[in-house]
Structure 1
Amino acid sequence: MSVAAERPQLPFARPNVLELAPLYEVLRREAPITSVTTPAGDPAWLVTRFEEVRDLLGDKRLGRSHPEPERASRISTAAVQDGPTGNYDTEEADHTRMRRLLTPAFSARRMTMLSDHLQQLVDGFIDELRTEHATAHGGVVDLHAGLAFPLPVAVICRLLGVPESDRELFHSLSERMADYVIGDDAHRAREEFSRYMAGLAETKRARLGEDVLSDLVRAQSADEKYDYADMVRLCVGLLFAGHETTVNRIGLGVLFLLTRPDHWQALIADPAGRVNATVEEIMRLGAPGDLGLLRYAHTDVEVAGVTIQRGDAVILSVNSANRDTSVYTDAETFNPDRAERMHLGFGHGAHFCIGASLARTELRVVFETLARRLPGLRLAKPLDELGVRTTITGGVTELPVTW
């Protein structure tokens, strides 16, 4: 597709992994819905202000499918959120089925029951880090490799019924799928991931258990309208999203706290009392990706004086919306004590993240335990020197710490 040269090109350059590009503040103020060029070179609307992002997240006139998929704008060359997904004619019914199937597994009650297991996992990973710290050169250990990555993987594997011994395989596949600089290899990774999940589903079919993948296999067998390929695609999505988001939020949360010692000391002083507010502020201000949530207009939509036409791509910048100065006091400041508790970190409306309770539970256990068990925690490398992932989901590749 040809695009106008004057359109801003995504992604916008960021000062560091904790801050957004200053252009977002300008756009919120002067052009909250603006035409941009995607990393793939196609046109899209970028929505940056809290009010419009929230409203469009809940607007059924926008969807993940496209009325003419072959003509849809592409967002990137990654294999995650690169273009339309699902069936345009059945998207709403398919989404309703998915929510019905998954809600029991991700309920707040189920997450409460999971808390004891989570605590054991976190304590075990911290025990291993303490042992490594005693012998490591300079006492420096990688909190990303030792906690932020393996914990969410272990949890989602248990919940879904995926062998944790395969974690390096699907970690590699996830990295390749989400990488926007490797071209066709990202899509080959998605195909490999789909074959892996299909094989796992067939293994489950022969011996169904009490896990999410078994539930989906049962549902697909019982409902001829539930397409097998859709089931496999959902399985891939659950495994990918179920660990990626939390891995990144643990890393960003640690960085926010360790670069702001007053808030870290406050959490140490009262871990149980302050952890909930700390986690919500991490979810508000943490910005692990450089784009946003992709939607397509299913009909013409008038919003903020702009006409979004049927078929247009719309990128909803949750990162920008969560820093809107018309909604938050000192919006760019990390402050768990702020009065404004709401945020769009888990989305809004019908597509509100089904794993929100799981993510919150994991983050609460992680940060409360770190504050109790490693109060002397500090970064062993400056923020600007940390490796940053070249993926749609972003985040850091390392988290060197000592104490």
Structure 2
Amino acid sequence: MTATTDRTADLTLPFARPNILELAPLYEVLRREAPVAAVTTPAGDPAWLVTRFEEVRDLLGDKRLGRSHPHPEQASRITDGAVQEGPSGNYETEEADHTRMRRLLTPAFSAKRMRRMGEDVQGLVDGYLDTLVAAKEADGVADLHETLAVPLPVAVICRLLGVPHDDSGYFRDLSDRMASYGHGDDAQAARAEFGRYMAGLAEQKRADRTEDVISDLVTAQEEDESYDYAEMIRLSVGLLFAGHETTVNRIGLGVLMLLTQPERWRYLVEDPAGRTDRVVEEIMRLGAPGDLGLLRYAHTDVEVGGVTIQEGDAVILSVNAANRDPQAFADAEAFDPEREERAHVGFGHGGHFCIGASLARTELRTVFRTLAERLPDLRLAVDLDDIDVRTQHLTGGVKALPVTW
């Protein structure tokens, strides 16, 4: 790959950020001066970093980029983790495989099923908040992360996929290890173990089908010889990881975003029913989990932002930076639920728009509306700088979230 200007050619990811709610100031410079910049990944390989909203949105929907690589052994690596660390899927069949995956999963995420899940989500949130209240009454402080932000998405994805909830702690640990980098071979070992776990679960479903996603995938694999077993297991692992990890982090980031600025929390508390949807969309726009981005590889030469991305080059799409682009959002760094611009890329764009977006929105809306209704005096029990955060991790997030009221 070719280099950009001297000012941006020696950049190494991740960039240091002031705190978990703010991005590195360098992103503002890159959006303005080099929206497609040559960088070095944490794995030490070259890649292109895309930071401006227009280019990120367009490339998210551009079929000239994909997750696979024509020569995987030659592809740039992003990290030594086991999630978005390098190419995935079959270069020759990626588009057809993606189309089949969407077709298989669409019924599971239908509007009808999401409405039914909404009732379950409300019951779960109420129960976890009861536990949070009891913990605060006992100790004066409660950990909203471990009591609500983590168990809710885990319980929801377990129900949807058909994973025994008793196994939730086990797969949470595997997910965390898979998404961590800088720890040698542990992430890859965790992924292999996760694959074995999902293969065992699939065999249980083969013998006893129920109304869940993994049973649906097992049936599809039996009916379609081109859909091989290994692909089914990879998809199951990916769904279980993505279906809870990102929502856990959005709850934590959203709580921090609201409680570090009291006027934001008061805005929601004054009208939870009428304002929650807008608050959630602003959390999705400004919440910035992780310090990397979405990984793609160029399947042909692509001209973008005055740069030629050559076939096979790695491309990192910074959704975090794109969603704070002042060319796309007025006063882009401000938390403004009343803003007119709604088209953030927090759930992706185009053919790869997150298939679970409606479920994630259901969970987030239920959490923040119920928190505002039941705990209007909620506040952080520590300063923002004292919040313990995950580093060298694909999705980042907090390790704990002490609150009181």
TM-score scaled by structure 2? 0.97
Unmatched tracts of structure 2, length 5 or more:
none
Matches within 5 A, 1:179-328: 179-328=180-329
1:181: how far off?
2.1
Distance 2:18 2:338 in 1: 25
What is the DSSP-based 3-state SS (H/G/I as helix, E as strand, rest coil) of the residue aligned with 2:11? coil
Give the structure 1 partner of residue 73 of structure 2.
70
Give the structure 2 partner of residue 17 of structure 1.
20
1:380: how far off?
0.5
User: Which of these residues, 371, 374, 394, is aligned with residue 396 of structure 2?
Assistant: 394
Question: CA offsets per residue over residues 326-370 of structure 1, 9 Å max, x none?
Answer: 111111111111111110000001000000000000000000000
Give the structure 2 partner of residue 343 of structure 1.
344
Unmatched tracts of structure 1, length 5 or more:
none
User: Which of these residues, 22, 26, 30, is aligned with residue 29 of structure 2?
Assistant: 26
Give the structure 1 partner of residue 155 of structure 2.
154
Question: CA offsets per residue over residues 59-98 of structure 1, 9 Å max, x none?
Answer: 0000000010000000001111000000000000000000
Number of positions where the alignment pairs a residue of Structure 1 with one of Structure 2: 401
1:6: how far off?
4.5
Instruction: Determine if contact 2:389/2:399 at 8 Å carries over to the other structure.
Output: yes
Give the structure 2 partner of residue 359 of structure 1.
360
Q: Does 47-56 or 174-183 show the bigger shift? A: 174-183
1:401: how far off?
0.3
What is the DSSP-based 3-state SS (H/G/I as helix, E as strand, rest coil) of the residue aligned with 2:118? helix
1:382: how far off?
0.8
Instruction: Determine if contact 2:53/2:323 at 8 Å carries over to the other structure.
Output: yes
Give the structure 1 partner of residue 52 of structure 2.
49
Counterpart AA for 1:169:
Y
Q: RMSD in angstroms over aligned alpha carbons? A: 1.4
Structure 1 moving runs of 4+ over 2 Å: 3-6
User: Which of these residues, 89, 92, 95, is aligned with residue 89 of structure 1?
Assistant: 92
Instruction: Determine if contact 2:41/2:77 at 8 Å carries over to the other structure.
Output: yes
**2:39 paired with 1:36:** yes
Q: Does 153-162 or 380-389 show the bigger shift? A: 380-389
Instruction: Determine if contact 2:9/2:37 at 8 Å carries over to the other structure.
Output: no
Instruction: Determine if contact 2:75/2:313 at 8 Å carries over to the other structure.
Output: yes
Distance 2:264 2:388 in 1: 24
Percent sequence identity over matched residues? 73
1:211: how far off?
0.2
Counterpart AA for 2:131:
E
1:263: how far off?
1.6
Instruction: Determine if contact 2:48/2:313 at 8 Å carries over to the other structure.
Output: yes
Counterpart AA for 1:366:
V
Question: CA offsets per residue over residues 272-291 of structure 1, 9 Å max, x none?
Answer: 10000000000000000101
Distance 1:321 1:64 in 2: 20
Distance 1:394 1:151 in 2: 18
Counterpart AA for 2:60:
L
Quickly say closer, same or farther: Cα 1:343–1:6, change in 2 above 3 A.
Answer: closer
What is the DSSP-based 3-state SS (H/G/I as helix, E as strand, rest coil) of the residue aligned with 1:102? helix
Instruction: Determine if contact 2:296/2:316 at 8 Å carries over to the other structure.
Output: yes
Give the structure 2 partner of residue 175 of structure 1.
176
Counterpart AA for 1:192:
E
Distance 1:387 1:32 in 2: 31
1:134: how far off?
1.0
1:109: how far off?
2.6
What is the DSSP-based 3-state SS (H/G/I as helix, E as strand, rest coil) of the residue aligned with 2:10? coil
TM-score scaled by structure 1? 0.98
**2:111 paired with 1:102:** no
1:108: how far off?
2.6
What is the DSSP-based 3-state SS (H/G/I as helix, E as strand, rest coil) of the residue aligned with 1:103? helix
